[in-house]
Amino acid sequence: MPNTSFKELLAPWFDAAPDIKISGLKLDNRQIVHGDVFVAVQGHSLDARRYIPDAIAAGAVAIIADEGDTSGQFGVSLHADVPVVAFPHLKSTLSDIAARFYQAPSLAMTTIGITGTNGKTTVSQLIAQWIDLLGGKAAVMGTTGNGFLSSLEAAPNTTGSALDIQQQFAQFKGQGATHVAMEVSSHGLVQDRVKAVSFDAAIFTNLSRDHLDYHGTMEAYAEAKLRLFTHYGSPVPVINVDDPIGADWVRNMPEAVAVSMSEHTVSAHQGKKLWLTDVTYATSGVTIAFSSSWGEGEFTAPLVGEFNVMNLLLSLATLLGLGYDKATLLDVAPQLQAVIGRMEVFHHADKPMLVVDYAHTPDALEKALHALRRHCDGKLWCLFGCGGDRDTGKRPMMAEIAERLADVAILTDDNPRSEPPESIVADMLKGMASPEKAVILHDRAEACRYAFENASEDDVILVAGKGHEDYQVLATGTVHYSDRETVRDLLEVKG
């Protein structure tokens, strides 16, 4: 943990802070230890300045207090002999403050930011795997946790707070990481949480309906994602131009690497590019042939589904853009592995194939079902739910997709939170032409068991929505539940 002075920390913004030794920065007064600075931010629902006395009692030696983004002014006062610096525009400056405290750790590593609605986790972990296979030491930050792939620690948000991010980078630096592949959420971009991160490469996967309860419109959602490319000056921007938003963005990004499933889509792009020339799908994975600004190539990887082809192409294009050797990358590609809970296949001979996937948006569910149809000789089953206290508009959309693309649709619970599960399912049923044909089983384990016991060995069952998650959020609280564990248990009992 760096030891610096309060005066030195705030010098670029305010030169009248007292010269006090400090040992840490904390946003939560309950985590304060002696020597810390308490950073009291005004949030949407909570003004942390009310906890300044508690932070001081816990040992805070200085306070940075949010003065808002309008008429606030710098100033310093004392509270129980502890200096309190009034700091305007604190939220948008916090990333810079944290980076200064931790000595800009992202500069010491190659940092890759991935944004988009779907695919962020898979791309980040594929890149990390590839780097590790070639002798590097890559850390990841995102939905499934932060850390090295062998030892991920759960994280509450895809993109942590501005302080958490810089502290995490400092920890990775101390652990000898050479690279960090970081999922960057739209919330994190809009709230300036990654403002002081130095990105060496930035990737756009795709954009589809999600988080409209926060952003309001798709236009605002897209604008939030675009910030990763317009505000950070990444030298290697990589764009999926099969996505209409990506195709639009790349017209103003001649420096971008355009990635597509077809040559036609990238033909007009003046910069570097990579495109698919052929693909073979098998239950064991995919074989991909491509052409690019770095030449042609072919490789096999044990991932299933068309959208994983794009995830692999984006990952490959990024590493080529960062200077990795093409032949070396292709040599180790067969050693890549599927990401837990992302089109993760569970299969025993003479039993239906079960696939656990995190798909919880209309676009992700549609892509997952299209992808699995290629691997399915029998019926395609779709088991899914929709979250409570979240965007209600996507509920009928997802049910319509399941009814149209699967042979059997099973509606179940997926983090109902404070909403009655029956109300959520009622919203879903509104999207179906024949709602009476849907199977409704609120208990997810029971729903999985029903599908498994009624499916044939040629069938494929998509268990969608929770992926890597090992919990279910109910009105009464959070309980342990894992689709992956349920599916494994079913195969062991019946295997």
Annotated binding-site members for ATP: 116-122
> Position 447: which residue type?
A
H helical segments located in 16-157 = 52-58, 90-101, 120-133
Distance, first Cα to last Cα, the chain: 51
Distance CA 444, CA 482 (A): 9
DSSP line for 394-409: HHHHHHHHHHHH-SEE
Contacting residues for 317 by C-beta, under 8 A, at least 6 apart = 238, 257, 259, 274, 292
H helical segments located in 161-278 = 162-174, 186-190, 212-215, 218-230, 244-250, 263-266
Place of tokens 């597509």: 260
200 phi/psi in degrees, rounded to 5:
-90, -25
Provide the 3-class DSSP secondary structure of residue 424. helix
> In angstroms, what CA-CA distances link 89 with 1, 5, 70, 237, 351?
26, 21, 8, 29, 59
The answer to whether 74 touches 141, Cβ cutoff 8 Å, is no
Provide the 3-class DSSP secondary structure of residue 135. coil
Sign of CA dihedral 379, 438, 462, 307: positive
CA neighbor of 324 nearest in space, from 482, 201, 484? 201
CA neighbor of 256 nearest in space, from 233, 290, 224, 225? 233
CA neighbor of 337 nearest in space, from 485, 141, 125, 178? 125
Annotated binding site for meso-2,6-diaminopimelate: 390, 414-417, 465, 469
DSSP line for 81-98: TEEEEEETTHHHHHHHHH
CA neighbor of 203 nearest in space, from 225, 188, 218? 225
The answer to whether 246 touches 119, Cβ cutoff 8 Å, is no
CA 200 to chain CA mean position, Å: 18
For residue 127, list its beta bridge partners: none
Contacting residues for 468 by C-beta, under 8 A, at least 6 apart = 143, 144, 340, 341, 342, 358, 484
195 burial (CB, 10 Å; 0-12 / 13-18 / 19+) is buried
The answer to whether 178 touches 131, Cβ cutoff 8 Å, is yes
> Position 303: which residue type?
L
Annotated binding site: 27, 116-122, 157-159, 185, 191, 193, 390, 414-417, 465, 469
